[in-house]
Amino acid sequence: IYRSALLRFADDGQAVYDSDGLLAVAPDAQGVQRVVAAGSWQALAPQYIDREGVQRIDLPGRLLAPGFVDLHIHYPQTDVIGAPASGLLPWLENYTFPHESRFADRAYADGVADFFMDELLRNGVTTALAFATSHPTSVDAIMTAARQRGMRMIAGKVLQDRNSPDGVRDDTEQGLIDTETLIQRWHGVDRLGYAITPRFAPTSTDAQLRGAGELAARYGDVWIQSHVAENLDEVAWVKQLFPESRSYLAVYDDFGLMRERAVYAHSIWLDETDRKLMHDTRSAAAISPTSNQFLASGYFDYIKADEAGMLYGLASDVGGGMSFSPFRTMQAAYVVGRESLAKQGLSLAPGHLWWQHTAGAARALGLQGVIGNLQPGCEADFVVINPGCTPLLARKTGEARNLDELLFAMIILGDDRLIEQTIVSQAK
């Protein structure tokens, strides 16, 4: 049991806070630590203290919170952050594709995967939905690194059989065969999951998208991840390439790639019919605000997404994104969210920003009640936050009069220094 301040979320997404809380965790039959109780110390302590076999850890001045869930990130772009390109398509061509070609080398991929995983944990991220590259070995590298750390990681080999240079372009058939092999090798092993990963519509042929959709139907509990409607040049290009489809998003629907557990990064330039399609298929948007700022792509429309009842969560989109830190991402979401919300005199509430990066992102993945929260039954992936980690944060959080002020101080001023420890439920 831990004694500390405690943050978690109710089923309706409301933040629940105990200033003097108790978190009890215990291993299940598979050796995964799970939350068995979370609430106020006063109410729960009598059941636990002085009981034989109960280990007690007191963390005065600290806050326990769910591990963050990053809904969209590219591990091979760890070293692409901050590449000085203007706009998505030049950035891909001049920096990202040449760099990703290096991941054909397993030793190189292993090195980056280890660094990436440690960087996630250092920033308090315990689960990510990650792109690898088109090279199958790049998936072996990230899965191995995640498994060694006991993390719940979801990743997939990128499918891109056209409009891609030598070194990253795959073969239509071979890419699909490799995908199926990797599903069988990794999906459901320990805490790992596989995601079928067409890069985006412009870089896959109809045949490859069709094959991906067939795999998505055959393996109903694997994830699907791609990009959609990020940038206006990209949207125009898709219109040329797929004249038969009603919209960019509809291309994915036409090939059987919209269903539960499908996550589409950005989802900015959608129309009402697209948003309804997202809702009806229970596909989710991965909102990537630091990436949208960096690549000047546009901004996610929270008002219209909520009107349509779309699923969504927050993502770093490293290396289009500018930071691994969920605090930087939540801060950017606050700023870009005003683009839509300010029209109605609203802004994103601190608890809602935090929810989008934890329990909300877990719900978008179909993992509500499994990760992203500290309710009984959840896998015990959590962070120990030190709200006094810098002089200014110590002042601001010390003066906070309510939960909104406490959370918002950390969202606006915080970064990796807030994360004192990241605890993963199956750490070896």
Residues lying near Fe ion in the complex (CB under 5 A): 265, 317
Strand pairing category for 2-9 and 15-27? antiparallel
Q: In angstroms, what is the minimal distance from the CB of 226 to Fe ion?
A: 9
> What number of other Cβ atoms are within 10 A of residue 360's Cβ?
26
CB closer to Fe ion out of 319 and 351: 319
Which of the choices Fe ion, ligand GUN, none does residue 92 contact, using the CB cut-off of 5 to 8 A by kind? ligand GUN
Which of the choices Fe ion, ligand GUN, none does residue 96 contact, using the CB cut-off of 5 to 8 A by kind? ligand GUN
CB closer to Fe ion out of 129 and 265: 265
Which of the choices ligand GUN, Fe ion, none does residue 328 contact, using the CB cut-off of 5 to 8 A by kind? none
Sign of CA dihedral 81, 229, 154, 359: positive
CB closer to Fe ion out of 129 and 380: 129
Angle at 117 between CA 136 and CA 293, to 5 degrees: 90
Nearest to 321 by CA among 83, 69, 124, 68: 83
User: What span, in angstroms and rounded, lies between the C-alpha atoms of 98 and 219?
Assistant: 32
Q: In angstroms, what is the minimal distance from the CB of 363 to ligand GUN?
A: 23
User: What span, in angstroms and rounded, lies between the C-alpha atoms of 153 and 127?
Assistant: 5
| Residue 127 tokens, joined | 């689960």
CB closer to Fe ion out of 8 and 135: 135
Which of the choices ligand GUN, Fe ion, none does residue 199 contact, using the CB cut-off of 5 to 8 A by kind? ligand GUN
Q: In angstroms, what is the minimal distance from the CB of 376 to Fe ion?
A: 34
DSSP for 232-285 reads HHHHHHHHHH-TTSSSHHHHHHHTT--STTEEEEE--S--HHHHHHHHHHT-EE
CB closer to ligand GUN out of 81 and 423: 81
Q: In angstroms, what is the minimal distance from the CB of 131 to ligand GUN?
A: 7
DSSP for 123-151 reads TTEEEEEEE--SSHHHHHHHHHHHHHTT-
CB closer to ligand GUN out of 33 and 291: 291
Please name the helix (run of DSSP H) or strand (run of DSSP E) that holds residue 403, with its range, or none: helix 403-413
Which of the choices ligand GUN, Fe ion, none does residue 230 contact, using the CB cut-off of 5 to 8 A by kind? ligand GUN
Which residue minimizes CB distance to ligand GUN? 320
| Residue 282 tokens, joined | 């229970």
Q: In angstroms, what is the minimal distance from the CB of 321 to Fe ion?
A: 8
Q: In angstroms, what is the minimal distance from the CB of 235 to Fe ion?
A: 16
Q: In angstroms, what is the minimal distance from the CB of 227 to ligand GUN?
A: 4
CB closer to Fe ion out of 113 and 378: 113
User: Residue 95 has what DSSP assignment?
Assistant: I
Which residue minimizes CB distance to Fe ion? 317
Q: In angstroms, what is the minimal distance from the CB of 299 to Fe ion?
A: 16
List contacts with ligand GUN (CB under 6 A): 74, 88, 92, 96, 199-200, 227, 230, 291, 317, 320
| Residue 360 tokens, joined | 């909300």
CB closer to Fe ion out of 172 and 231: 231
User: What span, in angstroms and rounded, lies between the C-alpha atoms of 345 and 340?
Assistant: 10
